[in-house]
Every structure is written in structure tokens, then in C-alpha cells.
Amino acid sequence: HQTVGPMAGTISPSAPVWVVENKAFGNRAFCRQVEGNQQFGDYSDQALQGLRMWRDVWAPTMRKALHTIGGLDLKPIISQALQMGDELHNRQTASSSLFANAMAVAMALTDLPNKGEMVGTLKYVTNHQMIFLGLSMAAGKAIADPACDIEYSTIVTAMCRNGVEFGIRVSGMGEEWFTAPAPVLDGLYMPGYSAKDAGLDIGDSSITETVGWGGFVLGGAPGILSLVGGTPEEALAYSREMLKITVTTHPTYRMPALDFMGTPIGIDIRRVIQTSITPIIDSAIAHRDPGYPKIGAGLLRAPLDCFKKALIAFSRKYSTN
Amino acid sequence: HQTVGPMAGTISPSAPVWVVENKAFGNRAFCRQVEGNQQFGDYSDQALQGLRMWRDVWAPTMRKALHTIGGLDLKPIISQALQMGDELHNRQTASSSLFANAMAVAMALTDLPNKGEMVGTLKYVTNHQMIFLGLSMAAGKAIADPACDIEYSTIVTAMCRNGVEFGIRVSGMGEEWFTAPAPVLDGLYMPGYSAKDAGLDIGDSSITETVGWGGFVLGGAPGILSLVGGTPEEALAYSREMLKITVTTHPTYRMPALDFMGTPIGIDIRRVIQTSITPIIDSAIAHRDPGYPKIGAGLLRAPLDCFKKALIAFSRKYSTN
């Protein structure tokens, strides 16, 4: 369904989703609400209440406001946020704030007779520092999808994890997944948790790295290092390293800390194999058991085996022998 | 009147001002509206219309909303913004966005019967990327003022410029100004303008550098380099250099790009003279003639002569011979 979800976040038929349209190619992609409980496997009543509020109040109010203004362009928000320390995978402080301001105006222009719901939604959107993650994930999916199914293309069109396996898709290989065991994250833990509590890498949010955000722009987002660990110099080095496995840099999305270098985009499985450099991803750490909130965040490398398997299959498919 | 103004911005008796209170010391400081025309000496009707809108609509609406929420804490906004690429002198993209988020909620909670004025004010505050400059200047003044008039103190309590002279005040020297000719800025110009059009350094906004923002935190705000020129490495070096002329770093205001180093604060005239390093300031460039908007932005050094004169006067005043 061209849909992505954060962590173990399920999407039921009645759940409103973010809808992002790629106007250049006419495709749409979707992502569910980002919250801190049910998407980590917590089914307590308090966790489900957050989903009900989203379904009954926050999403309908925002939907009405978005219709008033005829939708909202995400590119200006994303390009600004990348110059304000967001990497759009685990840090959305700037993009969420910019998005909230646009929503505040849209809501003010909309006839919302239930003032309590209007104020509640405005407080929700202006105080949710990760609200833009649902939008950056859907935007990543909307950007990547038109690159799928291009004959001979060795570009990665998806990377995702389910807590057991890590999988990638490659443009010239259609819908086939190339998988390897999901890695352990190297990161920092919230008080009371440690590496022995950690589950393996999970969630669709690495669609952001697939389009050159997240770990790929860590050099421009040093604020996240207090969450994932490491030094500013290491973060800058990751962003420069990703140039070696991508085919270009983005003309609009730029990082001031790297002299306004464009974000590295278009992971090429041939370059990954030639260099043995795999994509760097920064991600949240879920508990190995359900019912806990986010217990930490850290860095990981996409497994090299996914890329090896993909290149071997690619060679077989396109071999002219 | 404990008041600061941007560029050549005048303050008439009927002009509403930002009011910032230093709750630790009980003092208040004030700053006028930041806009792009009259504060550069433009007295056209279009320029004055912006002042009238501020006086009649925007300021009264925000005043009412701020009273509803009992005022707004600036420290959380400032500390977040410094981690989002603001330096609070020429780049307020993040702080303005965060401030607008808070104002949107405050306005929604306020009885504002004129919907047109409410929506107009909301659009003004959510789209004004420098609105927080008036607040960061007033905050800088509110922070610096309690440090004035401390016997034997060699700490700088104000730096400002009037387009002809650059002046500093020193805590142990009371209200005396130590001046030197205002410097020329080294910067980048808007299309159609060049160095021959530039006026000399002007405005009270270097109160931000006085409390350790602006040029002092340039290393954490590389996004501004497209406006003022220079490389990210030079920007980081300026922030490290300012450690040599200040007495401490701020415990709350930190720069992720410098491994969460606190902002350098407390310029000591003795250290300036010992090192011959003077404060680095990033500032807007005004035209030498009135009636033009901002024609560029750049960097300058506070003149060493101000500090020499201050230290000589200080020695005379406190000499026990």
C-alpha cells in the first residue's frame, strides 16, 4: 500500500494516516501517526487512548485544516529543517516546529466549532517534537517509489527492518527483498535500561536514509549526538563517507556544516560492494519485549550481506551469457 | 531606559516594545519591533505602515495573548534554538519558529473577537524569521544589566555602534563609554549592492555578543554563513577563540557542533588586551544613505582601542598609588 510505519507500529483500517504526494511523478505514500507507546508494542489502555485521540480529534482536525489550505508543500520545510539541525529520522525538532506553525495558520483559517478540540489539537501539534517523522517517512517513501523497477538500475529503493531481518530492495530487481539478520544498535540508553534489554533493529524509518537523510546527514545534525552518541567530527565523517556509496548529491537539500554540500542520495549496491562501506543509520532502540517505551537510540550499519545477495541476483538477472 | 534597538531603529513614545524580565535579578529590558524598512532609515509610507500595523494590530494582539498565558519563558527557547543553528543576532529561524508555536497556542486560548486581526497577527508571527531578534536583544540587555557597576569588575556589560563610533561599557567603570571609530564590515552583499554602498557598523544588536551569542556561537550556526560569508571551520574557530577572552562558559546554552560546549560568556577587557583578540560580531550591513533596506551582512571585530581606553581608565580609577 505504499505505506511505512515507525518501529512496530501497526496500522488498523480505521487509523488516519499522513498522505504525502510526489507531484513530479503523481504517486502517493502514507505513514501512520508517530507516538511513544503503541508503536513500541504497548497495548495498555493509556497507550490505546493516544491512538483514539489521534483517530477522533487530532487527525480529523488537522485533515480539515489541511483541506482548507489545499495541502502543504513539504520541500520548503525539509530544506529549512536540514539547515536547522534536523536529520529527519530521530531529530525533527525544527521540521515539527515549522510544520506546527503552518498548521496553526491553517487551523485559524478553518471553521472549527469545537474550541476544546481545536486548542487540544493545536497544543498536540505545537508540542510534538517528532510529529514530522510521520511526514518525513511518507515523503521518503513518496520520493523512493518512482525509482522502483527501472531496468538495469542498481539503486536501493528501500531499506527496512522488522526486529529479526534487515532487508533492501533494488530498483532493477523489482519487489524482491534481499535480507540478512537485523543488526544490534550501538547507542546510548535511557536511565534504567542497557544493551541487554535491547531488541534488534526494527521499523520502516530507514526509508529516510534510503533518500539521503537520517545517518546520511548526521554531520548537519550534531544536536542528535546527545541521543545516539559520538562526536561532531565522527558525524561529519559519516556524511562525507556516504558520498562514496551514492550516485549524486541533492541540489536542494543541503548541509551548512559541510559547506552547504548537498545530501548524498542514490545508494548504489555496486559502490557498496566495491568499497565495503554500508549505509549508516541512526535509529531508536526498542525493548526486546513489548510494552516498554523507547529505551535508547544509536547507530548501525546496514548489513553488507543484503548488498552482496542483491548484486549476485542482479548479475544473474541481467547476465547476457 | 534599559532599551535596545536594531540598526537605526528609533522608538517613539507610542511604539509598543518587547519587555523581557530577568527573574533572577528582577530587572527588565526592552527592545523595539524588528522590521526591514524604517529601522534602516526608510520613512516612506509603506515603511511607516509596518510600524502602524505593529502599533495597532500585531503588538496589541500578542500583548493580550501573552497576558493570557502569564508571559513566556525565553530560556527554553534560547537553549533549544542554539542547538538548532540560531546564533540569535542575524539568524533567528529556530527561535522565531518556536516562539510562534507558543504564541499560536496563547492566541488560541485568548478571546480575540476580531478574527481578521487574529489571523493577520498569527500569519505575521509565524512567517517572521527574525521576530525573535527583538526578544534576544532585550534578553541580552536583561542579562547584562545586573552585571553593571560591580566594583573592580573588568567584564564588558555593553557593546554598541551608531554608524560613527563603536562603544563598550565595563562593569567596574559604571556608565562611561569607551569608544573608537565604527569599523567596516567584511561580508556579502545583496544583489545590486557592494562595499562602496556600505555604511559603518551600526545598532545595539551587539548586546547579543556581549552575552555570548551572535559571532561567539557562529560555530553552532553554520546556516548563517550563506549570509555573512566564511567556512564552517572558520566559524568553529571563532567560537573557540572567544573562550580566550571570556571568563566562563554558559551552563545551559550549549553548542552541539562543539561537542555541547557552553557558549563563551563574560568578556574580560584584561584578556582582550593580553591576547589582542577582540570580540567577533556578525551583523547586518546598512546602506550609507537612508531609505535602503539591509544591503548585506558580514563579520567585524570590536575595535581594540575601546578595550585599551577602558583598561587605562580602569587602572586610573582603581590605582592604589
- The DSSP string of B165-200 is EEEEEEGGGTT--EEEEPPPPEEEE-TT--GGGB--
What is the value of ipTM here, to two decimals?
Answer: 0.94
Residues paired with residue B170 on neighbouring β-strands, in sequence order: B156
Residue of A nearest to B230 (CA): A259
Spans of chain B below 50 pLDDT:
none
Choose among B94, B104, B123: nearest Cβ to A126. B104
% of residues, chain B, pLDDT over 90: 94
- The set of cell numbers assigned to B196 is 562602496
Tally of domains within chain A: 2
Domain final residue, candidates B141, B160, B193: B141
| pLDDT value, residue A320 | 78
Residues of B in contact with A99 (CB under 8 A): none
Task: Give per-10-residue mean pLDDT for chain A (321 aa).
Answer: 89 95 98 92 92 97 98 98 97 98 98 96 97 98 98 98 97 97 94 94 96 98 93 97 98 97 98 98 94 93 98 94 61
Residue of A nearest to B127 (CA): A101
The whole-angstrom distance between B100's CA and the closest CA on chain A is 7
Residues of A in contact with B257 (CB under 8 A): 222, 232, 257
User: A170 and A312: one domain?
Assistant: yes
Domain, as residue range, for A130: 3-141
Order of strands, edge to edge, in the sheet holding A280-285?
A186-189, A296-301, A280-285
User: B114 and B158: one domain?
Assistant: no
User: B288 and B174: one domain?
Assistant: yes
User: B137 and B213: one domain?
Assistant: no
| pLDDT value, residue A120 | 98
Tell me the average pLDDT of chain B.
96
Residues of A in contact with B126 (CB under 8 A): 101-102, 104-105
Contact A256 B98 (CB under 8 A): no
User: A232 and A265: one domain?
Assistant: yes
User: A70 and A52: one domain?
Assistant: yes
- DSSP state letter for B85: T
User: A134 and A161: one domain?
Assistant: no
CATH code of A276's domain? 3.90.1700.10
Domain final residue, candidates B109, B141, B173: B141
Residues of A in contact with B258 (CB under 8 A): 232
User: A63 and A197: one domain?
Assistant: no
Nearest of A90, A36, A78, A81 to residue A235 by alpha carbon: A90
Domain final residue, candidates A141, A170, A187: A141
Name B249's Cβ contacts closer than 8 Å, sequence gap at least 6: B243, B261, B262, B263, B264, B265
- The set of cell numbers assigned to B140 is 541580552
Residues present in chain A in total? 321
Residue of A nearest to B86 (CA): A84
Residue of B nearest to A102 (CA): B126
Q: How far apart are CA B230 and CA B238, in angstroms?
A: 11
User: B23 and B169: one domain?
Assistant: no
CATH code of B49's domain? 3.90.1710.10
User: A121 and A173: one domain?
Assistant: no
Helix/strand/coil (H, E, C) string of A65-110?
Answer: HHHHCCCCCCHHHHHHHHCCCCCCCCCCHHHHHHHHHHHHHHHHCC
User: B165 and B39: one domain?
Assistant: no
User: B161 and B178: one domain?
Assistant: yes
pLDDT, tens only, B258-297: 999 999 999 999 999 999 999 999 999 999 998 898 999 9
